[in-house]
Chains A and B, each alone.
Chain A
Amino acid sequence: DVKVTQSSRYLVKRTGEKVFLECVQDMDHENMFWYRQDPGLGLRLIYFSYDVKMKEKGDIPEGYSVSREKKERFSLILESASTNQTSMYLCASSPEYSEDTQYFGPGTRLTVL
């Protein structure tokens, strides 16, 4: 089975802090994605990556950056956390050029005080 893990299930940070959310997948997938999930808004794509050291902006990249130094790991960075970044963050991965689904991690619920 594909396994996508995220470093924390719950995280509480203060405004202005730098926040790292880590995601690791064990199926050698090329594609990795970061979403935020908010009630009534569904999932919105923040950033995605199709290969190591590659990144593409999604629909809502402002206030976020990403890093993909290794194929299995995709990190989401909040340079200076703000209260409006309080949300559930979901990581996903999928194979390259495939009609296959995305596989999701368990999510990280981030609260910024």
Chain B
Amino acid sequence: AQTVTQSQPEMSVQEAETVTLSCTYDTSENNYYLFWYKQPPSRQMILVIRQEAYKQQNATENRFSVNFQKAAKSFSLKISDSQLGDTAMYFCAFMNTGNQFYFGTGTSLTVIP
């Protein structure tokens, strides 16, 4: 079975600074997908960014980018120019070719004004 590990239960960052959330996973598959989700306090979980394992290029979405290291099975999320609205729980997730998702335990990020 696949496992997803987020080793940072809580993090904080000053507004306008950059923060990196770490995620590692374990799988024997070669083709899969990786996601970062954001769950703001009392609000719906939404997708932040996704990465296909067969693509070497790291995905970026505005201020959000990933560092995907397939050999190391690492998938970290970098948030640049942090904003107060980035305060949320962040979940890393793995999806196999059978459409099954596996989630990490989450990292609670607080952006400090």
Contacts and interface: CB of A to CB of B under 8 A. Distances in A.
A35 B4 CA distance: 16
A104 B45 CA distance: 6
Given A99-B33, A99-B52, A101-B35, A42 B103 contact: yes
Interface string A24-67: 00000001010100001111110010100000000000000000
A94 B103 contact: no
B105 A41 contact: yes
Interface residues of A, number: 23
Nearest to A90: B45
Contact of A45 (B43, B95, B101): B101
Contact of A40 (B9, B45, B47): B9
A66 to B, nearest CB: 16
Nearest to B101: A102
B47 A101 contact: yes
Interface of B: 4, 6, 9, 33, 35, 37, 43-47, 50, 52, 91, 95, 99-101, 103-106
